[in-house]
Amino acid sequence: MNDIQKFDTRLSVEKSKDGKRGVHFKRTIDDHSIDSKYLRKTEPKLPQMSEFDAVRHFTKLSKMNFSVDTHFYPLGSCTMKYNPKINEETSSMTGFASVHPLALTECAQGTLEIIYDMKTRLCELCGMDDATLWPVAGAHGEFTGVLVAKKHFEVKGELRDEIIVPDSAHGTNPATVTMAGFKTINIKSGADGRIDLNVLKQNLNSKTAVLMLTLPNTLGIFETHIEDIIKLCHDNGTLVYMDGANMNALIGLVKPGDFGVDIMHLNLHKTFSTPHGGGGPGSGAILVKKHLSDYLPVPIVVKKEGGFSVEENRPNTIGRIKAFFTNTAVLLRAYTYMIMHGPKEFKEISENAIINANYIKSKLNKYYPAYANEFCMHECVLTPSKELEEKGIKTLDIAKRLLDYGFHAPTVYFPLIVHEAIMIEPTETENKDTIDAFIETMIKIYEEGINNPETLKNAPHTMPVKRLDEVKAAREPNLRW
């Protein structure tokens, strides 16, 4: 097979032929009385293909893609676990798929019951009091959570406009802070990657509204002094927001509410197994303690005698964050996953995730020393060894070489505080054989790096394309046909 057939990069419009069609609707007359001043003047350039042409086109494209089902995908902080197939079956059941969000609530009792029950279960799992399932992504959840905090201070009549964010945080945290109209106070992490209590103390003042912290942090380390951190904040009248992107390390093991966290978000597409879809749709539920309940976004699903209903009228709400509820079918997937797990099974998730991560860390330590010299939680942050650096090997080279061996690369160059970071999250669903193969490959890549560094620097060699000219992409944007 030649390269063109194997890796066909022709666009659909380049395969298009006049007169081809994939789908037909009932014939209708092109005769309407809409005034021509309201009409489109030029035809859109859309591809014309037969149904089979289109199927072949997209199926071939799907083959030029790594995914969880086909490849180990240890993308740190993204929790690329197996996405159970039953989720797909249940979430697409006709009864769920066909309900219009503006249908009478009498017609949506099944979906509303799930939303209500899911909220209750998530609160119990996290030790929180109330929740909203409306945010559709982690970042959307962060924004919602920070607005809740903003409302809290507004109602109290306190002017606080600063939010403390550790330098190890995901970029979404500081971006959220700005979006919600606050100022980001970046604080430097301690040598062990944890929040430095003294630095925190120095930065807490009467203007500090919130501390945003990721737990475990992006180094895969738990903030051991969590009680002191939260006490310092609460004594200062500051709320604590927990970024729950890494909840896969804690699920079934602890309840964040017990630490004293006031607001947290969950990425249901991470911890609760819904597929990532090439970058979404996700779901970023927000959980809060009782004192913040009034500020949650509308609508509110309430249980009454005779069924579930939807209420809009909440005087202190932050408002509406999306026009129509949420990525509901994503919730249905996460809910299916939840009802298949009791307390015992939930704990198995975090336990196996933590064991898998530590296993990789300890086996690779000689070749890729870990940033933190202690056990990790569900992910570990490694760096290329000195020997590799001496050969001029960068983390990017290692990542690209992994692709040649059939492994998706870990998250690289994040967290920013670690030089040449390689962030590995195996998740609980991978088996030991796969993990061993990954470890062996990482060692092999190390050896290649020492003996034949060019192989790494020019990797990948077996993908549909070699390294791409990203400078050209940014300088001469070609973003459409």
Partner 1 sequence: MFISNTEEEKKEMLKMIGVKSFEELVKQVPSKFLNPKFNLPDGLNEIEAYKKMKDLSEKNNALLSFVGGGVYERYTPAVVKHITQRTEFLTAYTPYQAEASQGILQTIYEYQSLMSELYGMDYSNASMYDGSTALAEAVKACVRISGKTKIIYSSIINPKYMDVVKTYFAGNKEYEFVSVPHKNGSVDLDKFNQLLDDKTACAVVSNPNYLGFIEDIEEFNKIAKSKNVLTVCMADPVSLAILKTPGEAGFDFAVGEGQSLGLPLSYGGPYLGIFTCKKQHLRQMPGRICGMTVDKDGKRGFTLTLQAREQHIRREKAPSNICSNQALCALSVTIYLTLLGKEGLKELALLNHNLAVYASKKLFEAGIKTKYDKPFFNEFAFDVENAESLRKNIACSKKIDIGITASELGEEFKNTVISAFTETKNEKEIDLYVSAIKEYSKSPAMKK
**Footprint on residues 153-182 left by partner 1 (CB under 8 A):** 154, 170-172, 174-181
Looking only at residues 91 through 110 of this chain, which bind partner 1 when binding is defined by CB under 8 A?
A: 91-104, 106-110
Site for partner 1 in 232-271 (CB under 8 A): 252-255, 258-259, 269
116 binds partner 1 (CB under 8 A): no
Residues in contact with 367: Cβ distance below 8 Å, sequence separation at least 6, in sequence order: 385, 388, 442, 443, 446
Q: Which is nearer to partner 1, 42 or 198 (CB)?
A: 42
Distance CA 196, CA 475 (A): 41
Q: Could you say which DSSP state residue 467 is in?
A: S
Nearest distance from residue 429's CB to partner 1, in Å? 5
Select the residue interacting with partner 1 from 311, 319, 447, 454 (CB under 8 A): 319
Contact track, partner 1, 416-435, x by CB under 8 A: ------------xxxxx---
Nearer to partner 1, 100 or 290 (CB): 100
Work out which of 74, 76, 275, 384 binds partner 1, going by CB under 8 A: 275
Q: What stretch of H or E contains 439?
A: helix 432-451
Compute the C-alpha angle 385/218/216, nearest 5°. 125
Which residue's CB is nearer to partner 1, number 97 or number 444? 97
Widest Cα–Cα separation across the chain = 76
CB of 367 closer than 8 Å to CB of 443: yes
Q: Which stretch binds partner 1 (CB under 8 A): 200-208, 232-240, 325-333, 381-389?
A: 325-333
**Closest separation in Å from C-beta 463 to partner 1:** 4
- The piece of 197-205, 229-237, 315-323, 440-448 that touches partner 1 (CB under 8 A) is 315-323
143 counts as binding partner 1 under rule CB under 8 A: yes
- Tell me whether residue 5 or residue 94 sits nearer to partner 1 (CB atom): 94
* Contacts for 207 with CB less than 8 Å, ≥ 6 apart: 159, 160, 161, 162
Among 5, 23, 304, 306, binds partner 1 (CB under 8 A): 23
Region 346-375 residues binding partner 1, contact defined as CB under 8 A: 346-349, 351-352, 354-356, 358-359, 362-363, 374-375
Q: Which is nearer to partner 1, 40 or 304 (CB)?
A: 40
Question: Mask of contacts with partner 1, 24-43, x by CB under 8 A?
Answer: xxxxxxx-xxxx-xxxxxxx
Contact region with partner 1 (CB under 8 A), list: 22-30, 200-208, 233-241, 441-449: 22-30
Question: Under the criterion CB under 8 A, does residue 316 sit at the interface with partner 1?
Answer: no
Compute the distance between CA of residue 352 and CA of residue 381 in angstroms, rounded to an integer: 18
In the complex, least distance from residue 383 CB atom to partner 1, rounded to whole angstroms: 19
Distance CA(326)–CA(346), nearest Å, equals 25
261, 292, 420 from 205: Cα distances, Å: 19, 21, 34
CB 463 within 8 A of CB 404: yes
Q: Buried (b) or exposed (e) across 319-343, using 16+ Cβ within 10 A?
A: eebeeebbbbbbbbbbbbbbeebee
Residue 369's alpha-carbon distances to 27, 165, 361, 363, in angstroms, are 66, 27, 8, 10
* Residue 86 touching partner 1 (CB under 8 A): yes
Q: Please answer whether residues 194 and 224 qualify as being in contact, where contact means their C-beta atoms are separated by less than 8 angstroms.
A: yes
Stretch 191-220: interaction string toward partner 1, x if CB under 8 A: ------------------------------
The answer to whether 454 and 398 have CB atoms below 8 angstroms apart is no
